[in-house]
A = this chain, B = another copy of it.
Amino acid sequence: MKKVPILVIRNTLIICIQNDLTDTAILELQNDILDKTYKTRVNGVIIDISSLDMIDVFLGKVISDTTKMVRLLGAQAILVGMKPNIAITLIELGFEMPNVKTAIDVDNGLKILNKYEKYNATKVLEVTELSGED
């Protein structure tokens, strides 16, 4: 069975899901993500699906559930890197993942997660700059 590597960078877990995992392997991966989130005390989880060329209802549900579970643990989860062909197929299947946060790629995912963390600090900076231009 394939092992999916889980990286920890800047207080964030990054998981790159690979093609052709069996349903059992996918459920094990979900477990691993949750255990690792709990144990490493990260506050962000990025699920990178840029290597996937198909998401069926089963995989889609596990991904969507995982982001909900991560939130209950107390971290933010973001899905990144979905290809257009997959987005088309998922919407045609009737599977919208309405409550799942998304970003274009890992980099943007990291930026969004950092924003959540630094939100107040950056907001103050921003306003200060504006006033300087006045």
Contacts and interface: CB of A to CB of B under 8 A. Distances in A.
Interface of A: 30-31, 34-35, 37-38, 41-43, 65, 68-75, 79-84, 86-88, 90-91, 96-99, 102-105, 108-109, 115, 118-120, 122-134
Contacts of A84: 31, 34-35, 37-38, 69, 73
Nearest to A50: B38
Q: Which of A75, A80, A102 has the most CB of B within 10 A?
A: A102
A74 B108 contact: yes
Nearest to A103: B74
Given A38-B83, A73-B82, 17 more contacts: A31-B88, A37-B84, A43-B103, A65-B91, A68-B96, A71-B102, A72-B82, A72-B96, A73-B104, A74-B80, A74-B109, A75-B104, A98-B99, A119-B120, A126-B128, A131-B133, A133-B134
